[in-house]
Amino acid sequence: MNEDVAVKNKRLGRNLAIVAIAMFGFGYALVPLYDVLCEWKWIERDRPDAIKAIPETAYEIDKSREVNVEFMTTLNESTPMIFSAEMTQLKVHPGEYHTVNFYAENKTASPMVARAIPSFSPALTSTYFEKVECFCFSEQTFAPHEKKVMPMRFVLNPALPHEYKTITLSYTFFDNTQTAIKK
């Protein structure tokens, strides 16, 4: 009976070691899996610390196709502002420059520092959506009850694959006042 228990304990120990190694391997593989599944390699360039203005390039305008660019605005639940785009969508030819104004208002009686974070759908299109000027490049400072008109100038690189007919650009504004005070 004791030999039976010893054999079972060894088998259990071996199985537990295999499970622990498999869990470690799965955890190690999560980052590359996340990159592949969530297209993080394309989204990553739109992180606030990586956003840079690009120079305006003279592209040949592709009049043969039209891409519908949708603009969405949202606020983080704790951001006391009004935030909107002057239009919800715009039809553009790749290579053609456009400026779209966004409007924001501080609804509080205190100064506020806020940051707009962009995201794209489909994510791959962020590679072809080139911003020359954007309020999202830096934090925005608002006086109490201040309203701002914030332009965003962009072009779709004509190398955008033809399968993309609609691009959604979404901005979410976050209140960074507490973070700005700590700096």
76 and 127 together in one domain: yes
Q: Is 109 helix (H, G, I), strand (E, B) or coil?
A: coil
74 and 155 together in one domain: yes
Domain count for the chain:
2
Output the pLDDT for position 158. Answer: 93
30 and 79 together in one domain: no
97 and 67 together in one domain: yes
Q: Which residues of the chain have pLDDT under 50?
A: 39-51
Annotate 141-155 with DSSP letters as a single string.
EE-TT-EEEEEEEEE
Output the pLDDT for position 73. Answer: 93
Output the pLDDT for position 178. Answer: 73
131 and 173 together in one domain: yes
100 and 12 together in one domain: no
Separation CA 129–CA 120 (nearest Å)? 9
123 and 75 together in one domain: yes
Q: Are 104 and 148 in contact (CB under 8 A)?
A: yes
22 and 56 together in one domain: no
70 and 122 together in one domain: yes
33 and 115 together in one domain: no
Separation CA 43–CA 107 (nearest Å)? 31
51 and 31 together in one domain: no
Residues present in the chain in total: 183
77 and 165 together in one domain: yes
Separation CA 62–CA 101 (nearest Å)? 24
Can the peptide bond before residue 158 be classed as cis, meaning omega within 30 degrees of 0? Answer: no
Q: Are 127 and 45 in contact (CB under 8 A)?
A: yes
Separation CA 150–CA 143 (nearest Å)? 15
Separation CA 152–CA 30 (nearest Å)? 35
* CATH number, domain containing residue 92: 2.60.370.10
User: Of 110, 129, 108, 132, whose CA–CA distance to 120 is shortest?
Assistant: 129
pTM flag (> 0.75): no
Domain extent at residue 70: 47-182
